Amino acid sequence: GFEGNWRDISYIMWLKRMRHGLQALLAYGFYRKKWSDNYHAWAAFVIFSVVYKAGEGCLSIEKRINANGVQDLCVVLEESKIDSVALPAVSKFIKNLQSCKSNKFERCAEKLFSKYVPGPEHQKWLMELRRNLENRENVQFVLPNVVLIKGEVALKEYPESADGVIQSVLERFTTETVADLEKRNTWGV
């Protein structure tokens, strides 16, 4: 089994989830005040918002100038606050949501989720974030890979381009992995 640092993997996955939540803003219609039919995007934004609203310096968004001299966003997640702030906040939210759903209180669940629709007081800030996301050059959502390098866990990232997407997939799915998936008929075909 894996004997590396699981904390690193946990941090990478939390950070990835927070970034995904921020990117979900692209699925929100600010003028209609409604999410598109992409409910996964809404859920991702809600989880992001739960952690962001938990406060205590756990999650922040910083404006930075990238290598091309263009303003960009950086999601900063304080690793030391994941267990003490982020995890309890998300756990409480999930428990409340599950309580609503298990009792068939659909209105309760909708109301709970609706607390995380961007309110008027956040519209300007969130629209600025969204414009920044929309204006990024060559936006490609390239999945990084978690790899072992000399016994250490590392996040291998790729260029945000078509070539980066291809390289990420090629390194994630080896010939043996694909053959094993086909043998198990994981895709249901």
* Cβ atoms of residues 28 and 35 within 8 Å: yes
User: Token pair of 14, please?
Assistant: 């939390």
The three-point CA angle 19-23-25 to 5° equals 135
For 163-179, the pLDDT digits (tens) are: 888 888 888 887 777 77
Could you tell me which residues come within 8 angstroms of residue 48 by beta carbon, excluding any fewer than 6 positions away? 17, 18, 20, 21, 22, 24, 59
The three-point CA angle 78-84-88 to 5° equals 115
The three-point CA angle 38-39-43 to 5° equals 130
Number of H helices, E strands in the chain: 7, 6
- Which residues in the chain land under pLDDT 70? 1-4, 118-122, 135-141, 181, 185-189
For 53-89, the pLDDT digits (tens) are: 899 999 988 888 877 777 777 788 999 999 999 999 9
